[in-house]
Structure 1
Amino acid sequence: MTPDMFAPEPGAPKELRPHQAVAIGLLKRSTGKAIHEGRRARFMLKLSTGAGKTVIAAAIVQGARTKGKRVLFIVDAISLIDQTVEAFMSQGVTEIGVIQAQHSMEDWSRPVQVASVQTLQRRGKLPPADIVIVDEAHCQSEWLSEIMQSETWAGVPFIGLSATPWSKGLGLLYDELICPITMQELIDRELLCPFRVYAAAHPDLTGVKTTAGDYQQAQLSEAMAAGNLVADLVETWRRYGENRPTFCFAVDRAHAKKIQRRFEEAGIGCGYIDAFTPTDERKDIRRQLDAGQIRVVCNVGCLTKGVDWAIGCIILARPTKSEMLYVQMVGRGLRVNEGIPDCVILDHADNTLRMGFVTDLDATRNTMCTAKRGERTARERPVPLPKECGSCGYLKPPKTRECPSCGFVGEPQSKVTETNDELVPVSRKQAAATRDQKQAWLSQLNWIARERGYSRGWAANTYKKKFGVYPRNLDASATCEPSHEVRSYVRSSLIAFAKRRDRAA
């Protein structure tokens, strides 16, 4: 039996797309220049989801083999080894050995070696190689970083691959960032699908501490497990998810299980995956999703890379301050799949409102960080933030007045309250309304909207005029009979609007 008896049949290499050929050309030019100048060759290739990273990597390997060079391809997790081997074989790369205990393809004599960084670290060394390719290079291994900076490997080119090369210290390991194409350009060329983002429930993260640059998980889990937030996940998916195959990203296992239970109680088939889910079970969940037996898969941080499932909706139930994690989560829904025209993103975590659209992040983050872990970094150029439509919750681009989804046009909000008789400046020293008081106002405004046949966004916009913000973490469907105070406020607002309209006329 040959070592690769369980490997797939080799295929013919795919013809490179223009941006893939550009990536190879830029890499060759940079490598040649570094060698000519007598310096180390360390390059980071930034490739968004769907750019064809494996096709480009296979082309690099094939180019090295034509010159008789040995190649080491390092993956971030053992679970990605077989997937990488299968992808390389489909591209015509056949001389593959795998460095993994008891793997059927383990053969150190082969000129192309695929290994996980964990296995290499346990064995304490890298195999001989003339070029090393590091997949998901932003997930840095301290052990591998030390090897890259050692004298022994100074003359060997290292190529990092990443969609989000923004982690601290990458600029100390890699000397040049190569960006052959942006995420938006891939969308424009229909190599990635467009997306729509809706801001769903707004979580109250007051008091949630930050640890290592992201929200502290235990406190975050408690904040996101509120019953109204979890219930809103299901209702929002019913309203906007269009029954599409969906990934839901949760905070932790308990949170994901709770969400799964709510979907199932609503009669919606829902799977669950975490880091401990066996490979066979993951495959079965994917089969059920593809067959329509389930519509949603809840997961905890393990479907953010190396996943090419046919997904049409992403539920962000996991707030994060990490731009890398945010882009990785959204990226799972941006691959082009037959019958799925775009990706619907239901952001229950305010990630988009906090960090901007992923396409804007991708376009502005084109430098590698040279700060070490723990060191402060210079502020990045701010990303323009989207605005939430007060009617439908759609997140529209900055400086866009009319909502592209529902056509609603918000009115500029005055800092002055106008009554029948006088203008009353809003005092900053006013006592803040309690949650119960805010809910009472929203419920009464909903009653008036239903009573008068107003549009769905009227209550939310009137609420904002009163409190300065749109309603958050409240029951948006509750109603109760309005008090004299609320009716008077609405009447005054309508009179003020009429006066402004007359003045404009």
Structure 2
Amino acid sequence: MSAELRHYQVAAIDLVWRAMAEGRRRPILMMATGAGKTKTAAEIITRAVAKGKRVVMTMPAIELIDQTVQALWNEGIRDVGVIQADHPMTDYSRPVQVASVQTLSRRKLPETDLVIVDEAHRAHKIIFQWMQQCPKLPFIGLSATPWTKGLGKHYDDLIIAATTQQLIREGYLSPFRVFAPSHPDLTGVRTVAGDYAEDDLAEAMDKPQLTADVVSTWLKLGENRPTLCFAVNRAHARSLERDFKRAEVPCGYVDGNSEPSERREVKQAFERGDIRVVVNVGVLTTGVDWDVRCLILARPTKSEMLYVQIIGRALRLAHGKADAIILDHSDTTLNLGFVTDIHHEKLSDGNERKGSASSRPERPAPKPKECLSCTRLKPAGVRKCPSCGFEPHKMEAVETSQGELAHLGGKQIKASMDDKRRWYSMLLWHEEFKQYKHGWAANKYREKFGVWPNGIDVKPAQPDVQVGNWIRSTQIRWYKGQEKAKKAAEGAQHAA
């Protein structure tokens, strides 16, 4: 066994062999991004080949074939063939085969003694068909996020080798800071197959004000670090690329249709520092070992797997890298929690029912909170911001008086003086914090209640969720109004 193996890799390999010896022939090995899956797989392959066994290692994407062959070569495994189209390394006589799942689905399945499935959470149909055709053939799944629904129908054990939290604590992954500089309005965005519908999502995110905010935030908080930016679709990605270039930030672009040569050129330019930001659409979520020190999440998601895979791109260690910066413009961290808090102890069998004690999910960790001073996200229960030191203070108690009618959105509603004082104190706080012109709070108060805050004397207090959301909604309406007016003006000019 290689002396270079880390302690959790050694333990993981031992647990895999033990599981298989005990009859669990299809375990999944969960190793967080950066844990060294390929190195661990190489040790398993080396042991199997030493016993005269043949091994097939499957890859979910063509671009990972050569990368994996090179990684195995670096680990001393040289007797390797490739199953992928007309690859120059095609040689079925080799004891180790690196295979594309796309090619496997179109050819006769190879004879082998062991299958190692990389990115097993992708749940490729051909792998499950292979399992059915060869019920005694052992399969070892590898994944940082083995949480796909129904995966437990095909694999029979989950071995947790290393979590993201553990790897950061032990110094194998980079710590990170998350900022939530903007909050998208996803009202009306449908959910399809458990995640946001891409066309709706793109329409919500591909707005001039939002893409410009991504760039201005990076200029402010990104520290000019090498950065990956994740967009919703090609049109959204091109808008982000355009805005970065307008700001004179060297920016590259890749998507699923980019030629391998284009991707190599972008990667090389990124590594040289000629490009600071690479905008992509879903193609840099796995198998990427670039030196990424800042990540922009401009693609909201409800998928824990996609979210963890994306954030993982920024957590690899690098020389001189103290931490990673995550600029989350999607509210995903606020909704799903920090990646270090997402954890599952078992595979899904696809039969989970609401309220079932046997299938009840693990209790999620409390969600992070946003610092209202610098927008950094901090763990629940942490009052003082670790970045700027801001600590919120509770609003002083106010006297309650008899309610009176106030005008709101064309309706007469009941609003007590208690409510009015609370709202005005929080609007004053926001006015001071944002350094708005004097009178902003009074105007917003009038917009809310239909009257001026005459005679109300209160001290500024940090806004609660209700007031903060209301302020945010008025800002979104204002931006939409500006966009509508601009389009109307452009239309009139064009008609003239």
Shared fold per TM-score greater than 0.5: yes
Q: Report the 3-state secondary structure (helix = DSSP H, G, I; strand = E; otherwise coil) of the residue aligned with 2:10.
A: helix
In the superposition, relative to structure 1, how do residues 461 and 157 fare at CA in structure 2: closer, same or farther (>3 Å)?
farther
CA RMSD of aligned residues (A): 3.1
Amino acid at match of 2:391: V
Unpaired runs of at least 5, structure 2: 412-423, 439-458, 479-496
- 1:367 is matched with which residue? 346
- For residue 197 of structure 2, the aligned residue among 216, 232, 237 is 216
Contact 1:214 1:321 in 2 (8 A): yes
Cα deviation 1:292-341 (Å, max 9, x = unaligned): 21210000000000000000001000000000000010000000011221
Distance 1:156 1:222 in 2: 47
Deviations 1:132-167 (A, max 9, x none): 00000000112321221x2x4111110000000000
Cα-to-partner distance string for 1:90-133 (whole Å, 9 max, x where unaligned): 0001111111222111011111111111100011x321111100
Which of 90, 107, 116 lines up with 1:133 in the alignment?
A: 116
For 1:367 and 1:412, how far apart are their aligned partners in 2? Answer: 41
Q: 2:169 matched to 1:188?
A: yes
**Residue 83 (structure 1) aligned with residue 67 (structure 2):** yes
Q: Secondary structure at the match of 1:287?
A: helix
- Higher mean alpha-carbon deviation, 325-334 vs 286-295, is at 286-295
- 1:178-228, CA deviations, whole angstroms, 9 ceiling, x for partnerless residues? 012221111111110000000111000011010000001111001001222
Task: Give yes or no for contact 2:176–2:325 (8 Å, CA) kept in 1.
Answer: yes
- Decide whether the 8 Å contact of 2:184 with 2:330 is kept in 1: yes
1:81 match: secondary structure: helix
Aligned to 1:493: none
- 2:345 maps to a residue whose letter is N
The TM-score normalised by the length of structure 1 is: 0.81
**What amino acid sits opposite 1:387 in the alignment?**
K
The one-letter code of the counterpart of 1:121 is: S
> Which residue identity does 1:221 align to in structure 2?
A
Letter aligned with residue 259 of structure 1 = L
Matched, 1:111 2:95: yes
Residue 270 of structure 1 aligns with an amino acid whose one-letter code is C
Q: 5+ residue gaps in structure 1? A: 1-11, 35-39, 453-458, 479-505
Choose 348-357 or 180-189, whichever is displaced more: 180-189
| Number of the residue aligned with 1:198 | 179
Q: Percent identity?
A: 48
Question: How far 1:13 moved relative to its partner?
Answer: 6.1
**In the alignment, is the contact (CA less than 8 A) between 1:172 and 1:370 conserved in 2?**
yes
Cα deviation code 1:25-59 (max 9, x no counterpart): 1111111111xxxxx50100001011111100000
1:472 CA drift (Å): 3.3
How far is 1:383 from its partner?
Answer: 2.6
User: Aligned residue pairs: how many?
Assistant: 441
* Partners of 2:394 and 2:462 within 8 A in 1: no
For 1:461 and 1:290, locate their aligned partners in 2 and report how far apart those are by CA, in whole Å. Answer: 47
Aligned partner of 1:161 in structure 2 is 142
The answer on whether the counterparts of 1:43 and 1:175 sit within 8 Å (CA) in structure 2 is yes
Is it true that 1:97 corresponds to 2:81 in the alignment? Answer: yes
Residue of structure 1 equivalent to 2:417: none
User: Using a 3 Å threshold, how does the CA distance of structure 1 residues 428 and 168 change in structure 2: closer, same or farther?
Assistant: farther
The 2-side partners of 1:393 and 1:401 are apart by 13
Q: Deviations over 1:378-424 (max 9, x none)?
A: 5442232000011110100011111111111112358x8x4xx7557
**CA apart distance, 1:248:** 0.3
- Give the Cα–Cα distance (whole angstroms) in 2 for the partners of residues 51 and 157 of structure 1: 23
Distance of aligned partners of 1:97 and 1:410 in 2 relative to their CA distance in 1, 3 Å threshold:
same
* 8 A contact 1:442–1:463 mirrored in 2: no
Match of 2:469 in 1: 469
Q: 2:267 aligns with which of 259, 271, 286?
A: 286
C-alpha separation between the residues in 2 aligned to 1:432 and 1:16? 69
Aligned AA (2:15) = L
Q: Distance in 2 between matches of 1:71 and 1:99?
A: 12
376-385 vs 191-200, which deviates more?
376-385
Q: Give deviations 1:331-354, integer Å, cap 9, x for gaps.
A: 000000112211100000000000
Equivalence for 1:494: none
Cα distance, 1:466–1:32 mapped onto 2, change above 3 Å = closer
Q: Evaluate the alpha carbon distance shift between residue 314 and residue 374 of structure 1 in structure 2; reply closer, same or farther with a 3 A threshold.
A: farther
Q: Which residue of 1 aligns with 2:389?
A: 407
SS in 2 for 1:180: strand
Which residue of structure 2 lines up, in the alignment, with residue 177 of structure 1?
Answer: 158
Given that 1:69 and 1:130 are in contact with CA atoms closer than 8 Å, whether structure 2 keeps it comes out as yes
1:398 equivalent to 2:384? Answer: no
2:286 is paired with a residue of what secondary structure? Answer: coil
Residue 381 (str. 1) matches residue 353 (str. 2): no
In 1: Cα distance, 2:125 partner to 2:325 partner: 37
Residue identity opposite 2:128 in structure 1 = S
- After superposition, where does 1:256-405 map in structure 2 within 5 Å? 256-361=237-342, 364-371=343-350, 378-405=360-387
Q: Tell me how far apart the structure 2 counterparts of residues 310 and 175 of structure 1 sit (CA, whole Å).
A: 36
Q: 2:23 aligned with 1:23, yes or no? A: no
Looking at structure 1, the residues matched to 373 and 11 of structure 2 have their Cα atoms a distance apart, in angstroms, of 44
TM-score, with structure 2 as normaliser: 0.82
Aligned to 2:22, the other structure's residue is in SS state helix
Tell me if the contact between 2:354 and 2:360 (Cα under 8 Å) persists in the aligned partners: no
Q: 1:74 aligned to 39, 45, 58, which one? A: 58
Helix, strand or coil at the partner of 1:118: helix
C-alpha distance in 2 between matches for 1:424 and 1:271: 61
Paired with 2:382 and 2:352, the residues of 1 have a C-alpha distance of: 38
Where has structure 1 moved over 3 Å in runs of 4 or more? 372-380, 421-433, 441-444, 446-452, 459-466, 468-476
- Cα distance in 2 for partners of 1:270, 1:174 equals 42
Please give the alpha-carbon distance, in whole angstroms, between the structure 2 residues aligned to 1:92 and 1:426: 80
Q: Does 1:147 align with 2:130?
A: yes
Tell whether the 8 Å contact from 2:395 to 2:461 is kept in structure 1 after alignment.
no
Shift of 1:238: 1.1
